[in-house]
Amino acid sequence: NTTWAFACIGWSNLDFFVALLSSLGAKDHTLLNNDLVLSQLHMVHLHFQLEFPDQEFPLVHIQSELLAAFKSQEPRPSRLQRDVAAALTGIGWDHIFEFVTRE
């Protein structure tokens, strides 16, 4: 959760992410048996790719598991997304609330 929280606020420090994520990959953590945690780590992976494109993600060896866990989660629109959709509906703007793109 710490890694996810720092990714959410857009905090970017390569050494921090590498140290924290490498420690997860170095041990047999029961924490990594949770799809919600793996799903969050997939989003951390996306943040990592954007912030450090020339670096290898420390959990690259379980990247497919992270993606599978992310895809298995039921989509949950954020409050911001719901508020924007409500505002658009309120002004009569026709829109698609949840548009899913191809991979």
Q: What is the pLDDT of residues 25-36, one digit of tens each?
A: 555 555 667 888
Model-wide pTM > 0.75: no
More confident residue, 20 or 83: 83
pLDDT value, residue 15: 72
Listed ranges 10-14, 19-23, 47-51; the one with the highest mean pLDDT: 47-51
Q: What is the pLDDT of residues 86-95, one digit of tens each?
A: 999 999 998 8
pLDDT at 10 over 80: no
pLDDT at 18 over 70: yes
The string of DSSP codes covering 6-46 is: HHHTT---HHHHHHHHHHHHHS--GGGG-HHHHHHHHHHHH
